[in-house]
Amino acid sequence: MTRKNRLHTMGEGGECVCPKCETLIAHKSGVPCQEERCPKCNAKMLRVGSEHHGRWQQMKSAKKPV
């Protein structure tokens, strides 16, 4: 699958999350979350439910102490 084919597959609505401070903002239609910057820490945002978000959640849960 090419980058062009992946664009706009998640539809409208949803949220963007900051991988550093976990701030949530509403997703803006037509603007990829990775082009958004966190209003608190200026990090690139991730789309909740995306492949990148899933990888981030896996890494985050792997770091939690048991």
Average pLDDT of every residue of the chain: 86
* 54 pLDDT above the threshold of 80: yes
Q: Which residues pair with 37 in a beta bridge?
A: 44
pLDDT at 1: 43
More confident residue, 46 or 65: 46
* CA quadruple 46, 30, 42, 4: dihedral sign: positive
- For 8-24, the pLDDT digits (tens) are 567 778 999 999 999 99
Phi-psi region of 46 (alpha: psi -120 to 50; beta: other; left: phi over 0): beta
Q: Out of 6-15, 37-46, 52-61, give the one with best mean pLDDT.
A: 37-46
Report, as an integer, the average pLDDT of 21-29.
95
Cα distances (Å, whole numbers) of residue 46 to 36, 42, 66: 9, 12, 26
Q: Which among 62, 23, 63, 61 is positioned nearest to 43, based on CA atoms?
A: 23
Domain locations in the chain? 14-63
